[in-house]
A and B are shown apart, each in its own frame.
Chain A
């Protein structure tokens, strides 16, 4: 099996990016009519749709907490999202694990004590998968929660990073993920630079860890700029419409 050259001699990756370069990010909020908040995010070819319903009455009375809201995350991957068509069942372990990662990431950030005895539902739909699904899900969820008007202490920005051949690189695409490179996903609160999620599969030499983490942190800051701009543009747009 021939191994694709992930890093060219000039230092360019498969898709022509430099190692510390993010893919093209496009995002928009308020795309669904039924959800309280929604966002659509594209990291290059990875496309994720996030919908937030809530705070609303909890489905299962047994799970209700008297002093805070509970978070419920569901992740769905479309059968046509990867090159090979594959139908994933709702109970697929990988998907459940990713959903629980998203839940863990947002539990400390959402000010749940403002909404006692209620439930906040986050539904994620992966429409196209080209690497970096977890980071796209977290970023889309942040924007959808803001669009729904749910109080949070800060944005949550996520970025993947890894060691591609001889350099640390951020925002890995599908080819880079599926080959022998290590990959770390980091979710960070940009204002305080605190990390709320770190997830890594594969092996990474401890000497390289610092470099990879540093690069991922910078990637998160770049993500924050992009997401903030989208949210502010939308807020200005709404304010303008209301003022008339």
Chain B
């Protein structure tokens, strides 16, 4: 991310946005083209790579491991649920300022955002401000918990063993709008995730033993994945707001609003960043806009994932090898 922007450039961007023309020719509500590919990393339960035409490149992997259940000592909940543990890392190759410890703050912010929107604990919610960026956060209570994903289905032996989904996002290249790309990648990776089936045997006396069935064809999908939210980041520049900001536009941003929405249009999370203020009426307008755009994006994303899966199926039926382009698709 270029850390400096000249006053002339800033003025150019500001005036352009007023007239609904952005620096790269887009209009205010226009999103850049999204290139999506799933199943790019072997040895994972699911993976996806999201690229925004402009440089942002995010790789997300989901690994399903078996571990002990996490029981909340206060409420006693969680004994019959699986877990989702998120982690976001920005590679130093992504931008000049990510070297050494430079990316730590951003990593932390993104990780916390993901954890909150995907697998929140209901007790530790409400106004947890991050250290330096003045922001306020709220999360709505999703009746399923965990961003729509059915955690109860991930439990193997209640009170003992469950599936833990480790979601690791790696930001390889920075071209603006990291949050949206990370969430889109996560949604695609969860769609791609296949969890092996388990067989539980009752040994009597309340003891259970389980066996993981090693059949690559007979696996389960992550239930509730269609209800996973994605994020739309809205940047307020001047009196207007834009989506999908480029790095220079992000430098001109006065206030940033991240809206997490699922396919039914429910608001799953909200976070405001940067040090500018947003008038309440503009805030409501932005949230509404983010919601509508989010639903459209989910539809497009799902269509892309489905098209890719169908194309792979056709290739397999014809006996052709399924080659993942990965880094070689420019």
A-side residues, CB < 8 A to B, are 26, 28, 31-35, 38, 40, 45, 49-51, 53, 56, 59, 72, 74, 76, 78-80, 82-83, 85, 87, 90, 121, 123-125, 127-128
Contact for A83 among B43, B61, B99, B101, CB less than 8 A: B43
- Indicate if the CB atoms of B96 and A32 lie closer than 8 Å: no
Residues of B contacting A85 with CB < 8 Å?
Answer: 63, 65, 166, 168
Interface string of B25-68 (1 = CB under 8 A from A): 00000000000000001111001000000110101010101000
- Indicate if the CB atoms of B328 and A26 lie closer than 8 Å: yes
Contact for A123 among B41, B89, B99, B175, CB less than 8 A: B99
Contact for A121 among B61, B99, B172, B175, CB less than 8 A: B99
Since A34-B174, A35-B93, A38-B93 are in contact, a sample of 5 more A-B pairs with Cβ atoms closer than 8 Å, ordered by chain A residue number, is A32-B94, A34-B55, A49-B91, A80-B41, A123-B99
Interface string of B163-194 (1 = CB under 8 A from A): 00010101011110000000000000000000
Within 8 A of A (CB), among B76-100: 87, 89, 91-96, 99-100
- Indicate if the CB atoms of A33 and B175 lie closer than 8 Å: yes
* CB closest residue in chain B, given A50: B93
Known contacts A79-B166, A85-B168: A51-B93 contact under CB 8 Å: yes
- Indicate if the CB atoms of A33 and B173 lie closer than 8 Å: yes
Residues of A contacting B94 with CB < 8 Å?
Answer: 32, 34
Contact for A80 among B63, B96, B172, CB less than 8 A: B63
* CB closest residue in chain B, given A80: B61
- Indicate if the CB atoms of B42 and A45 lie closer than 8 Å: yes
Known contacts A34-B55, A80-B168: A128-B42 contact under CB 8 Å: yes
Which range contains the number of B residues in contact with the other chain? 20 to 34
- Indicate if the CB atoms of B172 and A53 lie closer than 8 Å: no
* CB closest residue in chain A, given B174: A34
Could you tell me the distance in whole angstroms from the C-beta of B229 to the nearest C-beta in chain A?
23
Query: When A and B form their complex, which 3 residue pairs have the shortest distance between CB atoms, in order from nearest?
Result: A51-B93, A33-B55, A80-B61
Contact for B327 among A31, A80, A121, CB less than 8 A: A31
Residues of A contacting B57 with CB < 8 Å?
Answer: 32
C-alpha gap A84/B159 in the complex (Å):
24
* CB closest residue in chain A, given B92: A123
* CB closest residue in chain A, given B100: A74
Could you tell me the distance in whole angstroms from the C-beta of A140 to the nearest C-beta in chain B?
11
Known contacts A79-B168, A87-B87: A53-B96 contact under CB 8 Å: yes
* CB closest residue in chain B, given A41: B327
- Indicate if the CB atoms of B63 and A125 lie closer than 8 Å: no
30 contacts between A and B (CB under 8 A): A31-B330, A32-B57, A32-B94, A33-B54, A33-B173, A34-B94, A34-B95, A34-B174, A35-B93, A38-B93, A51-B91, A53-B96, A59-B100, A72-B99, A74-B92, A74-B99, A74-B100, A76-B92, A78-B61, A78-B89, A78-B168, A78-B170, A79-B87, A80-B41, A80-B43, A82-B43, A123-B91, A124-B93, A127-B59, A128-B41
C-alpha gap A40/B172 in the complex (Å):
12
C-alpha gap A83/B63 in the complex (Å):
9
Q: Count chain B CB atoms within 10 A of each CB in A33, A50, A76, A82 and give the residue with the most.
A: A33
C-alpha gap A47/B175 in the complex (Å):
23
Could you tell me the distance in whole angstroms from the C-beta of B325 to the nearest C-beta in chain A?
11
C-alpha gap A33/B57 in the complex (Å):
9
Residues of A contacting B327 with CB < 8 Å?
Answer: 28, 31, 40, 49
Residues of B contacting A87 with CB < 8 Å?
Answer: 87
Residues of A contacting B65 with CB < 8 Å?
Answer: 85
Could you tell me the distance in whole angstroms from the C-beta of B21 to the nearest C-beta in chain A?
23
Residues of A contacting B101 with CB < 8 Å?
Answer: 90
C-alpha gap A90/B98 in the complex (Å):
13
Known contacts A38-B93, A80-B61: A32-B172 contact under CB 8 Å: yes
Contact for B173 among A26, A34, A80, A124, CB less than 8 A: A34
- Indicate if the CB atoms of A49 and B172 lie closer than 8 Å: yes
- Indicate if the CB atoms of A49 and B93 lie closer than 8 Å: yes
- Indicate if the CB atoms of A59 and B47 lie closer than 8 Å: no
Could you tell me the distance in whole angstroms from the C-beta of B54 to the nearest C-beta in chain A?
8
Residues of A contacting B100 with CB < 8 Å?
Answer: 59, 74
